[in-house]
Each structure stands twice: as C-alpha cells, then as structure tokens.
Chains A and B, each alone.
Chain A
Amino acid sequence: MNLDLFLQYVVAGITYGTIYGIVAIGFNIIYNTTGIINFAQGEFVMLGGMTAVTLARVLPLPAAILVAVLVTTVVGALIEILFIRWLRHPSVLRMIVITIGLSILIREVALHIWGEGVRALPYFTGTSVTSIRLGGVYISPQVLWVVGISAVVVAILGGFFRYTLLGMQMRACAANRDAARLCGISAKNMVTLSFMLSAGIGALGGCIVSPITYVSYDSGVPLAIKGFTVAILGGLGNSAASAGAGMLLGILESFSVSVLPAAYKDVISVAILLVILFVRPSGLFGSAEVARLKEF
C-alpha cells in the first residue's frame, strides 16, 4: 500500500471516527450524571439528521440544523421527564430495558413520519464530488466540516463542564449525588439537562455527517453500537478518551476494508467490544482504579 492510499484510509477513518466519538460523548454525559447507559443515543443522531433534512426544504441549511438540534433536545428532555424521572430506584437492568424500548419506539415513529427512504442533507460546501487536495490525499470539504464542528463542540463542552456553574453542578452530581443535593443542586434537573445535552449533541452529529453517511429511520442502531464500543474503549464517562477511541475504531474499520470483505466492517466494533468487556472493562485509557471508584 502506498503512502497516499494509506493516508486516504486514515482520512476516511477519521471521518467516521469523529462521529463515533460524538455518539460516545453523548453516552458519557448521561452515564456520568445518572449511571445509565442510554441505548436510545443512536436515535438522537437519527432524529437530528432526519428532522434537518425535512426542514432544509423550507429553511436555509444553518437554520434547519439549528431547529433540528433544538427539536431533538426537547425530545431528549421529554424522554427523561416521561420515562426516567419518576423511577425511584432504577436498577441497571430496568434502565437497559427502558432505553432499548425507547429506541425501538422512536424508530417506529420515525418510520411512520419519514418512511423507509434514505435521505441526506446537501453538502455544506460544494457537492459530493468536490474535493480538496492535501498532498496526495483528496479530502471532501464535508470531512473538514465534520472534524471542525466536532472539535468545536468538544472544546465548548469541555469549557462548559470546567468553567460554568451549571457544568460544575452536573459534574458534582456525577461525583456525589447526595452531596450535590446537600449543596442545593436539584439532581433531577441535572439529569434532565444531561439528556437534553446529549440529545442535542447527538442531533448535531447526525446533521453534519448525513451528507456523507446518509440517514434513514434505522440508521441510529449501528451508530449506537459503535458509539457504545468507543465509549467502553475509552473508559465509560471519559469524554476526551472517547474522542481518541473514536478515531481508533474509525481507522481500524477503514483499514479493515483493505484486507477483509466490506461486509465484515461492522463485525470489528462488536469484536472489539466483546474483547474489551472480557479483558479490560475499565477501558483502554481508563484506569482500573477509576472504574472501581465509580461502582457502576
């Protein structure tokens, strides 16, 4: 394999890896404040993409994306308020059943609204054949949009959690829920907020990749599996590591196509997931100590 081809695979891997990372961050935000794995995370990505495609017929593209993100954020809030909030002592099994149920529900609703058709937003700049030449590598401008917007989102999110009172309150809830309540923080509101945040981020991710990957009512499922793999790979709850793990999985997948039949591409993430769960449940970058401390 020559260098240019090698780099071409890397670029493809980074594109997909970025979106896996975004989905994983969505998992992490909810996991950190509640200890819940929200298996409907992929559906947020799908909802964002589908809604934006529909809205883009009547609104300019940026407005369509903005409204789609807001709509999905509201859906996230509603889901938490209707299905999660009133549970007093949610067991892990119960939460798994509920969130998987929700993901099926959202998918069915989406099927009713949008049908089975595969859709996509237009490329943000240029068309599907536009490409920028960087050295020997051809990059679609959309790839730069995906990576750029994701990087901005990750940076803003980092700043939000680190420097704003609201972000600190969410971290406090994650660190010690009772202590947070004793400080006057409403743990329930923080949970709602975490669902809104990860729904919004998932939706934005769904919008920015849809020109490349397309979106249909059922496109959330594989994304959820890969995002979950990445979240586990990075160590649950660790968003910076998730971004790195996302790239890793994306690049692995992209190279797998050069050695294995393309049909095996999706097998990789499942295989990685199983291996990690057996060998190193605390994740590749997570320390065993942290995993033990979290007690989930």
Chain B
Amino acid sequence: MLRIKNLEAGYGPLKVLRKVSLHIGPGEIVTVIGANGAGKSTFLKTIAGLLGASGGEVLFEKQDIRKLPAERIVSLGCSLVPEGRQLFAPMTVRENLVLGACVQFRRRRDEEVKEDLDRVFVLFPRLKERETQLAGTLSGGEQQMLAIGRALLSRPRMLLLDEPSMGLAPRMVREIFAHIARLRREFGLTILLVEQNARGALAIADRGYVLETGRMILQGPSGDLLLNKDVQRAYLGRSPEEDA
C-alpha cells in the first residue's frame, strides 16, 4: 500500500530524516514511535506532501507521490490528520467536515458525502451534538475526533495520524485508540500511526517502527517490540529489572 525507501527530508539546511524506510500492507495498522524531536511529524508531513523531500522514494499504491503537492496526495486517497488537530477554528464543526469532503465534491460524489457525514456522526455522536459549534471551542478530545472525521470525509484508503493522543486525559486517550482500531474494521482503512504513547499505539498496531534522531533503529511486530528491553527502557517507562 505504502512503501517508503531511503527518504530524506528536513527544513532548509537542517536535515531531519536520514534514509528512512518503511512499508505498510493494505489493512495494516503500523505505528512509528519516537521521542520529542525524533522527526515523526516531519516524516508524516513529508509523506503527505506538505514538506519537500530531498531524496528517496514514496510509493503509494505503486505510484511515486514524492513530488506531488499535498492537495494532490489527498485526492489519491492518502489523508493526514496533522499534529495538534489543525482545525479551522473559526468555522463550525459541520463546516470543518464538509471542507474535508472537497476532493469528494470534485469527484462529483455528493451523495457519498451525505453518507459519510452520517457515518462520522455515528462514529462520533458527540460531533453530531455539536454540529453548529465553532471548532475552536471544542474540548481537546472532541477536536481530535473532528480532525479524524474531517480526514475521513475525503474517503481515504490510507490514514496518517500524528499523535492523536497528544494532550488528552487517560480516559480520552483510550477512547481515541479504540476509535482508531474501529476505523480499520468499519472503514477498511490502512493506518500509519505516529505516537509518543508507545504502549497505547503498540497495543492496537500490528507492527511498529522506532524512530530515533531521524533514523529507523528498530522494527518488528508489536508484540516483539513490547518485549524488547531497549524499547521498554526508552519508551515504556519501565526497566527490565522491574519486569523480572
């Protein structure tokens, strides 16, 4: 579905990603975990086309999308839910969702948009209750739901999620992770999930990658990573001794 080879990217002279490779099969949930500043957001922004790459390949469904602008990549079916939600704050919940469907309107799929709106409201009933509220006034959890909902309205086949659990209370974090697992089941999505909450992410992902200062240093099935001593020490906040 998505195959990334030796991707290099950064901001001007600052190199952030160094030869990063990753692949995701259709229907997989794959997570990339890493500390602050590891380059996780840079990675997703480069895939989504917001940031230009200086080298490497990004193949989405066998098509090289590395040089395409962000607005083209969404229309191909790969949608990013950016870090910090990035909602249209002065606009209503409904307007935010409708804007998510821009590519669908361009495909003349107005009927599908209506269905999708209903599906999103079924998935997140709280958004339905707040349909006419301004997005900027929603709670953190509701904003995250709206950000995901907005991305779903473009009918993507692949969803890129950047730290959806950021800044949320533990209960809401669990709820969001549960929703992400549901997205695969009910929407048939392939998901690339970037997280600092390694435990939560590995719990719902099939496989995981560990990104450290712009390099993929580890990868494997989620179960293996959860048992890996280095991962435990660095990302699960637990020392191997305690475990024994």
Binding site for B on A (CB under 8 A): 165, 168-169, 171-172, 175-176, 178-187, 293
Residues of B within 8 A of A171 (CB): 88, 90-91
Cβ-defined contact, B87 with A185, below 8 A: no
Give B84 Cβ to nearest chain A Cβ, in Å.
10
For B, the interface residue count at a CB cutoff of 8 angstroms equals: 28
Q: Apart from A172-B91, A183-B150, A185-B99, list 16 A-B contacts with CB within 8 A.
A: A165-B102, A168-B98, A168-B99, A172-B99, A175-B88, A176-B86, A176-B88, A178-B70, A178-B82, A178-B86, A179-B82, A180-B88, A183-B102, A183-B103, A183-B154, A184-B75
Of the residues B69, B89, B98, B105, contact of A176 by C-beta under 8 Å: B89
B212 interface residue, CB < 8 Å from A? no
Residues of B within 8 A of A175 (CB): 88-91
Cβ-defined contact, B102 with A169, below 8 A: yes
Of the residues A169, A172, A181, A293, contact of B69 by C-beta under 8 Å: A181
Residues of B within 8 A of A168 (CB): 91, 95, 98-99
Cβ-defined contact, A183 with B91, below 8 A: no
A-B contact count (CB 8 A): 68
Question: Scoring B residues 60 to 83 as 1 if CB is less than 8 Å from chain A, else 0, what string do you get?
Answer: 000000000111001100011010
Q: Complex Cα distance A125/B200, Å?
A: 73
Give A190 Cβ to nearest chain B Cβ, in Å.
11
Residues of B within 8 A of A180 (CB): 88, 99
B34 interface residue, CB < 8 Å from A? no
Give B88 Cβ to nearest chain A Cβ, in Å.
4
Residues of A within 8 A of B91 (CB): 168, 171-172, 175
Q: Complex Cα distance A183/B95, Å?
A: 12
Cβ-defined contact, B106 with A184, below 8 A: yes
Q: Complex Cα distance A169/B86, Å?
A: 15
Give A166 Cβ to nearest chain B Cβ, in Å.
10
Give A108 Cβ to nearest chain B Cβ, in Å.
36
Give A12 Cβ to nearest chain B Cβ, in Å.
36
Give A258 Cβ to nearest chain B Cβ, in Å.
41
Cβ-defined contact, B86 with A184, below 8 A: no
Cβ-defined contact, B88 with A184, below 8 A: no
Question: Scoring B residues 205 to 223 as 1 if CB is less than 8 Å from chain A, else 0, what string do you get?
Answer: 0000000000000000000
Cβ-defined contact, A185 with B86, below 8 A: no
Q: Complex Cα distance A182/B100, Å?
A: 8
Cβ-defined contact, B87 with A184, below 8 A: no
Cβ-defined contact, B50 with A178, below 8 A: yes
Q: Complex Cα distance A171/B134, Å?
A: 14
* B154, closest chain A residue (CB): A184
B48 interface residue, CB < 8 Å from A? yes
* A181-B71 CB under 8 A given contacts A168-B98, A169-B102, A172-B99: yes
* A165-B88 CB under 8 A given contacts A182-B70, A184-B74, A184-B154: no
Of the residues B69, B86, B90, B105, contact of A179 by C-beta under 8 Å: B86
Q: Complex Cα distance A87/B112, Å?
A: 37
Cβ-defined contact, A182 with B103, below 8 A: no
Give B99 Cβ to nearest chain A Cβ, in Å.
5
Of the residues B74, B88, B103, contact of A172 by C-beta under 8 Å: B88
Give A99 Cβ to nearest chain B Cβ, in Å.
26
Cβ-defined contact, B86 with A183, below 8 A: no
Q: Complex Cα distance A186/B151, Å?
A: 16
Residues of A within 8 A of B89 (CB): 175-176, 293
27 cross-chain CB contacts under 8 A: A168-B98, A168-B99, A169-B102, A171-B88, A171-B90, A171-B91, A172-B88, A172-B99, A175-B89, A175-B91, A176-B87, A178-B70, A179-B82, A179-B87, A179-B88, A180-B99, A181-B49, A181-B71, A182-B50, A183-B99, A184-B74, A184-B102, A185-B99, A185-B102, A186-B71, A187-B71, A293-B89
Q: Complex Cα distance A293/B106, Å?
A: 31
Question: Scoring B residues 231 to 242 as 1 if CB is less than 8 Å from chain A, else 0, what string do you get?
Answer: 000000000000
Question: Scoring B residues 97 to 124 as 1 if CB is less than 8 Å from chain A, else 0, what string do you get?
Answer: 0111011011000000000000000000
